[in-house]
Amino acid sequence: MERTLEFVGDRWAMLIVRNALLGATRFSDFQEKLGIATDLLSGRLAKLIEGGILERRSYREPGSRSRPSYHLTPAGKELLIAFGALQQWGDRNCPPSDGPAAIRRSRSTGRSLVIGYYDDKGEPTDLDDVEVVYKRPLN
């Protein structure tokens, strides 16, 4: 967790990744939707690129110069699981008065999705049955 939090462990980094998961790719999209200062956004984008969560690509609109866009890497896309788990936890333990801000569902079936633990045969595992065994001492 400590290594992960080095890259996504602050509010702005998490909000940038959330917006990337929702389809934002351009600097101006992130800046406008988050209201984040441009220098802070530049720093967080650089850190997310360094962490292998985002990659920078170039795009050019007709008649304009080339500009960078920011896209989730496969590792960045995997954060959908962690972010879904955080949202699910918030919906259960500190729900907004007007209900969940979003729902998770399958694109192919439309069925609701939940985040949880599954064993290597695909069977769900109750949280009371989950044991975390660390291979080395925690700091």
pLDDT the model gives residue 2: 85
pLDDT confidence bin for 96, thresholds 50/70/90 = confident
pTM given for the model: 0.85
Q: Where are the alpha helices (DSSP H) in 1-113?
A: 2-8, 11-21, 27-34, 38-50, 74-93
**Domain presence at residue 138:** no
pLDDT the model gives residue 100: 86
Give residue-wise pLDDT tens across range 41-95. Answer: 999 999 999 999 999 999 988 888 999 999 999 999 999 999 999 999 999 899 8
Distance CA 58, CA 108 (A): 31
81 and 73 in contact (C-beta within 8 Å)? no
- Average pLDDT of 13-41? 96
Task: Return the DSSP state at 69.
Answer: E
Query: Residue 121's domain is classified under what CATH number?
Result: 1.10.10.10
Range(s) of the domain holding residue 75:
2-129
What mean pLDDT is reported for the chain? 93
Number of structural domains in the chain: 1
